[in-house]
Amino acid sequence: MDVADRSRGEGPGEGAPDSIPDRGHGAVLARVLAGDRPADLRRHRGQFHDVVVGSRRVVCFARTQAAGARLAGRAAVLRAVAGLGLGVRVPEPLAQGGGAAGPEPPHLVLTRVPGAPLDPARLRERAVADAVADQYAALLRRLADAGAAAARGGLPGTPRDRWHRFAADVRDGLLPLMSAAGRARAERELAAARGLPHRESALVHGDFGPENVLWEWSGGLPRLSGVVDWDGAAVGDPAEDLAAVAAGHGDELLAAVLARVGAPPDTAERVAALRGTFALQQALGALRDGDAAELADGLRGYR
């Protein structure tokens, strides 16, 4: 989990532009992105991957051994999502390399989805905010319609005991690292998550932060061009993606999206409970992967 604002441990996304240690990346980039000038490449550091964006292809380097082991599964999820006809572009896997497959660092080569994350300052413009809310709502409706097809296509469902297992894992692994006040906060958030009803009514992206939603501009208004980073895609509760919209863009845009999708009365409560798990999800994932920096970031508000 790497939601909207990694500096507060609340957020999904592949992260903001950052310096990335080479760790053998150079040889892969010279081969895969041979037509691109190094100075033109964009680099992003996410929780699980170091991402290098070229003109036509993207290379995702696994940051940890565990993330490397998940690359094949990531490619399979992308193929399944691409077949659902969601009306937006998604990355298509082209090749996997490294690890047991050779001397290169573990990586996945993907097609590049055009567009860029939305500049949050533009949401202060009413016409832009309305266009963004319209398109988020339309995508969420398509994700809801795709739920049954996603299940038939082999994408996983959400386990009924997901939040109970999550709470047990947080207590075992994370609570000992927290202050007393942090443990009290975590217990409140875990209680809210355990009280969530089980739902499998939509395809859920699972990491719907602003860095993963790409836009192009036409006539002064944004057009949703694509969505990336589908690693956590599953059939589940659409409130999880709505919670990421709230974490990434704020409650005002969330309210506008909710008004457009005709959400059930309990949606706001589910959104709040799910949003409360984001930092804990980030910290737990980092603990499992042995990523000390992401663990510290996820636990920042609990120490």
Residue among 50, 134, 172, 207 flagged as catalytic: 207
Amino acid identity, residue 144? A
In single-letter form, the type of residue at position 221 comes to L
Q: Are strands 57-62 and 42-45 parallel, antiparallel or unpaired?
A: unpaired
Nearest alpha carbon to residue 277 among 143, 160, 186: 186
The angle at the Cα of 93, spanning 31 to 18, to the nearest 5 degrees, equals 65
Measured distance CA(200)–CA(136) in Å, rounded = 20
Cα separation of 32 and 59, whole Å? 8
What is the distance, to the nearest Å, from the Cα of residue 239 to the centroid of all Cα atoms in its chain?
Answer: 14
Are 47 and 285 in contact, with CB atoms under 8 Å apart? yes
The Cα–Cα gap between 55 and 112 comes to 7
* C-beta of residue 25 within 8 angstroms of C-beta of residue 105: yes
Strand 202-204 to 107-111 pairing = unpaired
Helix or strand holding residue 45 (H, E):
strand 42-45
How large is the angle between the packed helices 267-275 and 239-249, nearest 10 degrees? 70
Q: Give the span between the Cα atoms of 260 and 243, in whole angstroms.
A: 16
Residue pair 78/228 in contact (Cβ under 8 Å)? The answer is no
Identify whether 145 is a catalytic site residue: no
What count of other Cβ atoms lies within 10 Å of the Cβ of residue 257?
Answer: 24
Active site residues: 207
